[in-house]
Amino acid sequence: MSEAKVKKTYTKQDFTSDQAVRWCPGCGDYAILAQTQKVFPDLGVDKEDLVFISGIGCSSRFPYYMDTYGFHTIHGRAPAIASGVKLANPDLSVWVVTGDGDGLSIGGNHTIHLLRRNLDINVMLFNNRIYGLTKGQYSPTSEIGKVTKSTPMGSLDRPFNPLTLALGAGATFVSRTIDKETKHLQEMITKSHAHKGTSFMEIYQNCNIFNDGAFSSLTDKETKLDTVLWLENKSPMIFGVEKNKGIRLDGNTPTVVEIGDKFSVDDILLHDESDYVIASLLSNMTYNDGFPDPIGVLYSIEDTRYEDMMMDQIREATKKKGKSTIQDIINAGDTWVVK
């Protein structure tokens, strides 16, 4: 009789590698790394079953700093490598760390196909709306008119919205958090891990060298209560310094209303993580258009996972044809001898 597997206990230090962290002082990546290392001991996963896959960019140095298995791959290809890792060993907990450039520009197609397949992989997309590693060019999420080294007269590109992209690609878990909101960041990491399917987590991350203050309206104490909508499932979408503002549907159009004489809490839209329409509405809200930016889980449903279906096919094929050696497979079908 085999012995029961002993559950291992870890601390934050167990997930801290011996590599010197090489990000600019003050970079938001430090906070994301620290909260990841803090949460992982409580996930109940053995270190040898954790893998971090990254592409190219500041965020993609992440695997060096996590004392787990990891692979620093090539630009934009982290989702493809991660898919191969997961399919080769479905028992692994696989994490993709990418940025708005790596994941939405050269890696855009790989990202959407990972999301639509719904492998049980966790995507952490650091969004600082700039190319930091290559010294300050505009990125796929930079706003129109953004003046950078590569757009001296202002960007003409309409930016990608990572959340609407993820929803459109068929992601089964879509969330957003902020590097400075450490408790919330921990919560989103935990929920991403708990989700069975592809989880997509956008993290607003400040690049204090090339795009400092990109999210200051959402993080400054003086403004954030009016610019951030903290989502809670089955709860009304209320925000504001005095919790006197809310999101109401006027027909099919979301509007910001004041709770008081004309509207009550009962008139405020309830968040439902399983409602795709609500998630789509939320994904397009931004303080630049007079709405608060939604933070939290926008969408979460359970659906069939790719690796489970693949294993079913393998079992069915094995049942029909039996097991073979590699040589048997090579010799199967039409063969010939070259003399």
pLDDT digits (tens, 9 = 90+) for 128-178: 999 999 999 999 999 999 999 999 999 999 999 999 999 999 999 999 999
pLDDT tens, residue by residue, 176-188: 999 999 999 999 9
Give the residues across from 247 on adjacent strands: 256
Q: Are 259 and 241 in contact, with CB atoms under 8 Å apart?
A: no
pLDDT at 29 over 80: yes
Strand extents, DSSP E, the chain: 50-54, 69-72, 93-99, 121-127, 173-178, 199-204, 228-230, 238-239, 245-250, 253-258, 293-300
Segment 291-320, tens digit of pLDDT: 999 999 999 999 999 999 999 999 999 999
Q: Where is average pLDDT lowest: 114-118, 136-140, 326-330?
A: 326-330
Confidence bin at 1 (pLDDT 50/70/90): very low
In this prediction the pTM is 0.94
The radius of gyration of the chain from alpha carbons, rounded to an integer in Å, stands at: 22
pLDDT for 5 equals 65
Mean pLDDT value across the chain = 95
pLDDT-based confidence at residue 330 (cuts at 50, 70, 90)? confident
Residue 213 tokens, joined: 């203050």
